[in-house]
């Protein structure tokens, strides 16, 4: 039986590789974003932990605590902006991945349509051949009578 040969197979392979690369980039961007979010949550937890002022603490300790809280507040603001940047990067990678998937699916659809047409053509040839055999058999059987 004949084998279907897709002429654009190299293009399909390139698009599959491109999509895989884009998936990896997207996953890495998501991991980086998660790390930054975890850092932000840690900073917020520390801020919540130390934000209460206690009257029994010394003035020196309160001053150190106040400076620490200011530093935490500054780091929280910076980390928030970093999370926003990472979110934009993730969205860009997601859009890129979607585009790569559309490109791959387009070529795969062409391949499937071509394969379907090829199989249909083979089935028609086989049916034609079977009809000819049946006709020859009919002529042979009725020609003897």
Confidence of residue 1 (pLDDT cuts 50, 70, 90): low
Q: For 7-17, how does the pLDDT look when each residue is reduced to its tens digit (9 = 90+)?
A: 999 999 999 99
- Output the pTM of the full model: 0.77
| Burial zone of 142 (CB within 10 Å; 0-12 exposed, 13-18 middle, 19+ buried) | exposed
Q: For 49-76, how does the pLDDT look when each residue is reduced to its tens digit (9 = 90+)?
A: 888 877 788 888 888 989 999 999 999 9
* Per-domain boundaries in the chain: 9-118
**Most confident listed range (45-59, 60-74, 86-100, 129-143):** 86-100
Helix (H, G, I), strand (E, B) or coil at 63: helix
Whether 113 and 31 have beta carbons less than 8 Å apart is answered as: no
Radius of gyration of the chain (CA): 34
Architecture of domain 9-118: Orthogonal Bundle (1.10)
Phi, psi of 18 (to 5 degrees): -60, -40
């Amino acid at each position: 039986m004949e084998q279907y040969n897709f002429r654009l197979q190299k293009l399909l392979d390139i698009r599959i590789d491109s999509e895989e690369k884009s998936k990896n980039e997207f996953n890495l961007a998501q991991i980086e974003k998660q790390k930054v979010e975890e850092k932000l949550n840690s900073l917020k937890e520390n801020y919540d932990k130390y934000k209460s002022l206690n009257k029994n603490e010394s003035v020196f300790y309160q001053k150190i605590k106040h400076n620490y809280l200011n530093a935490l507040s500054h780091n929280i603001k910076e980390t928030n902006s970093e999370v926003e940047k990472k979110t934009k990067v993730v969205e860009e990678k997601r859009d890129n991945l979607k585009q790569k998937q559309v490109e791959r699916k387009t070529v795969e659809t062409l391949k499937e349509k071509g394969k379907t047409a090829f199989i249909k053509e083979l089935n028609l040839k086989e049916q034609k051949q079977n009809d000819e055999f049946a006709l020859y058999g009919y002529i042979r059987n009725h020609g003897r009578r």
